[in-house]
Amino acid sequence: MTSTATTSTAAPRADDERSADDNQPLAPLFTPRGIVLVGASRTPGKLGTAMAEALAGASAPVALVNARGGDGMHASIADAAGELEGRGGRADLVVSCVPAPATAAVIADAGAAGIRAALVCAGGFAEIGDAGAAAQRDTEEAAAASGVRVLGPNTSGFFVPGGALRASFVPGAAQLRPGRIAVIASSGGVNHMLSFRLEGAGAGISLGVGIGGGLGVTHADVVRYAAADPATRAIALHLESVEDGADLLAAVRHASALKPVVALVVGRRTDSAFAQSHTGALATGWRITRSVLAQAGAVVVDDEDALVASVIALSHVRLGAAATPGVALVTAQAGPGLIIDDHATADGWALPRLREATRARIGELLPPLTFQENPVDTGRPGPTFPDVLRAVGSDDQVDLIAVYALSEPVVDLPTAVAEAGTDTPVLVGIDGPREDIDAALASAASADLPLLTGPRALSAGVTAIVADARARVLAEDAPVAAPRTTGASTGPWDEARAKDLLDSVGIRTPARHRVTDSDDGLAALADLGAPVAVKMLDAEVLHKTEAGGVRLGVRTADEFIDALAAVARTGAREFLIERMADDGVDLVVSVRRDPVFGPIAMLGLGGTAAEAYADVAIRTAGFGADTVASMVDELRAGALVRGWRGGPHLDDRELAGVFAGLEAMLDAHRDVREIELNPMRLTVDGLVALDAVVLTS
């Protein structure tokens, strides 16, 4: 086999194993030894009432606070904390259900009482304007002064089912079972939605958190907590926006080295100001976030259905690092198997043809009319089904088996898979009446097998396992060393000066001359040799072709005079005379300073149609040849740089060196915010930058 598999079989931790840990910054929030609820109420329909009911089942003692006191409630946080100490607990967490203007006082009083964490459920902060912004500023100042870590505001809360802690005013949260999946969502509503979806699919929850306003506790903080939590086997991450991109990527990189992370990024529809460059138009926040999360090791999915299927699969099965893990599909019905096979093709699974010995063994077990090479069609599942799985799993090309079947009275599918006893991990898909699916989920749970409903869910699960294995290979990619450069020169950067900068970091550019009149231009033509390009030189004009400032393929003196005159009609007073490059494939290669994630790199199909195709791959800067190869693989047009029909073949390490050179230029010139080479042409002799745009702050 090309990789080894690891399966997660340990049960969630028992309630009495959870306690506040001073070495874990969020332990006071998620494993408190005592809880104070401020704004508690006995009036039906109030937030404080719903939260009091939710916390009533907590394993940690709870004390209630209401300014009026009475009815078993304290008038102050200090009194409530004292009660908890008298009951043998300690006030670690305050849950605030008071309006926004009163929140800062709650945080200050909590800090004075020695409380270290707070859940703030109220809305009405910066999102409503100046009045709310003042309340948020006061709350932030109180948190900073008191050292209280704040989750929220604007969140429906969190839950830790294994610790009997449900700090959520959504009643259904009380029904969520302990499990192995942590849900970390920007929205409290999405946190609950995903958790309920996972529950319905037979998966339990180790932790469910709605970040809300992110005033204190961030996605990155909770990702780190989940990475260290023994009860968590996989992390489901939902993102609407990112404030500190570097911190989030560091957290995901750390977590994904320990356990799978599956991410859903929303915000595809982005309204932005006019972008000066192709890079600015193509590298939207949504696209960047997805790309860099995948680079950090997360499995990035397109929708909530794929998120649920993927995190269930990865909470049970994780392969070792492998660029092309081998998948075998075993199906009891050919039609659904063909649907899965289509997904396999679209998502790039490796479905190796089974070895001759494997096929011979399968032939002994199945009727001759079934397909037995991979996929394996068993017909209706029968008594030999476990033997078929055992034979497929013994094939040294197979790292993962995907099994699909309709529910049948003759075979309990999870039991048959368990009976096979293969060391190769198995992901099971099933369809049938609801009662059959429920029975299969129960059977799968007892056998600790991942089970998904439907061909699409099964396909999403396999794709996630494969993507995770590939990501672990790229985690070991060593960055290419950046060349030495200098920060002495400053803009404005017309094309000639920009290309001089490229030359200084070893990026190849065409031979050229800067000229101001026809006499110097004719001398440049004679020196360079025909054909040449005649271009306007003006740092303010970024798209010279659209402005009429470029003439290509100029060969004779007469053609040159005509070309120079045409370009001069644009208002140009300086010109670049440049030797034409050999034919090849045009790319766009760029780096820019992203306000969230720092320096990012982009690769795509180049030329004037770059924005029309929008076929790009994005990474955080600082990588090697393996990452370049993954970028090329991501491009729909990637085959064009892999020797398509006898064309040039990209040297991944050479392109990694180009990106390293561009990043070195950013580092050396702090006023430069973006450098774009479009086109950068791949020729039989390698890469050459035909145009260069340098944008400053």
For 25-36, how does the pLDDT look when each residue is reduced to its tens digit (9 = 90+)? 999 999 999 999
- 378, 370 Cβ separation under 8 angstroms: yes
Q: What percent of the chain has pLDDT over 70?
A: 93
Q: How far is CA 231 from CA 14, 448, 639, in A?
A: 9, 15, 43
Listed in sequence order, the residues at least 6 apart from 385 whose beta carbon sits closer than 8 Å to its beta carbon are 332, 378, 411, 416, 420
**Three-class DSSP category at 659:** helix
Question: If pLDDT is split at 50, 70 and 90, which confidence band does 540 have?
Answer: confident
Question: If pLDDT is split at 50, 70 and 90, which confidence band does 543 have?
Answer: confident
Structure-token match 């340990």, residue found: 10
Question: If pLDDT is split at 50, 70 and 90, which confidence band does 262 have?
Answer: very high
- 279, 592 Cβ separation under 8 angstroms: yes
292 or 380: which leads in pLDDT? 292
Can you give the residue ranges of every domain in the chain?
20-154, 155-316, 327-444, 511-579, 585-696
Mean pLDDT of 367-395: 89
Question: If pLDDT is split at 50, 70 and 90, which confidence band does 269 have?
Answer: low
pTM above 0.75, yes or no: yes
DSSP of 379-409, one letter per residue?
SS--TTHHHHHHHHHTSTT-SEEEEEEE-BT
| pLDDT of 23 | 62
Structure-token match 């699919």, residue found: 201
- 276, 695 Cβ separation under 8 angstroms: yes
What is residue 585's DSSP assignment?
E
Type of residue numbered 426: V
For 213-233, how does the pLDDT look when each residue is reduced to its tens digit (9 = 90+)? 999 999 999 999 999 999 999
Task: Return the CATH number of the domain spanning residue range 20-154.
Answer: 3.40.50.720
CA 293-297-300 angle, to 5 degrees, is 50
Task: Return the CATH number of the domain spanning residue range 511-579.
Answer: 3.30.1490.20
For 141-177, how does the pLDDT look when each residue is reduced to its tens digit (9 = 90+)? 999 999 999 999 999 999 999 999 999 999 899 999 9
List, as own/partner pairs, every contact residues 105-109 make where C-beta atoms lie below 8 angstroms and the sequence separation is at least 24, other chains included.
Answer: 105/142, 106/38, 106/77, 107/139, 107/142, 107/143, 107/146, 107/148, 107/150, 108/142, 108/145, 108/146, 109/76, 109/77, 109/78
For 635-666, how does the pLDDT look when each residue is reduced to its tens digit (9 = 90+)? 998 999 999 999 999 999 999 999 999 999 99
| pLDDT of 45 | 87
| pLDDT of 488 | 63
164: nearest Cα among 34, 309, 58: 58
Question: If pLDDT is split at 50, 70 and 90, which confidence band does 282 have?
Answer: very low
* pLDDT at residue 375 greater than cutoff 90: yes
463: nearest Cα among 300, 321, 633: 300
Cβ-in-10-Å burial (0-12, 13-18, 19+) of 45 comes to: exposed
| pLDDT of 280 | 43
* pLDDT at residue 125 greater than cutoff 70: yes
Task: Return the CATH number of the domain spanning residue range 585-696.
Answer: 3.30.470.20
Architecture, CATH, for domain 327-444: 3-Layer(aba) Sandwich (3.40)
What residues form DSSP beta bridges with 535? 550, 576
Question: If pLDDT is split at 50, 70 and 90, which confidence band does 597 have?
Answer: very high
Lowest average pLDDT, out of 86-90, 369-373, 595-599, 672-676, goes to 369-373
- 175, 54 Cβ separation under 8 angstroms: no
Mean pLDDT of 452-479: 96
Provide the b/e sequence for 211-220 (b: ≥16 CB within 10 Å). bbbbbbbbbb
3-state secondary structure 118-168: EEECCCCCHHHCHHHHHHHHHHHHHHHHHCCEEECCCCCEEEEHHHCEEEE
Question: If pLDDT is split at 50, 70 and 90, which confidence band does 15 have?
Answer: very low
**What φ, ψ does residue 366 adopt, rounded to 5°?**
-120, 155
CA 311 to CA 306: how far, in whole Å? 8
CA 286 to CA 278: how far, in whole Å? 16
**Three-class DSSP category at 330:** strand
Question: If pLDDT is split at 50, 70 and 90, which confidence band does 8 have?
Answer: very low
Listed in sequence order, the residues at least 6 apart from 595 whose beta carbon sits closer than 8 Å to its beta carbon are none
The domains spanning 155-316 and 511-579 adopt the same CATH topology = no
Q: Which fold has domain 155-316?
A: Rossmann fold (3.40.50)
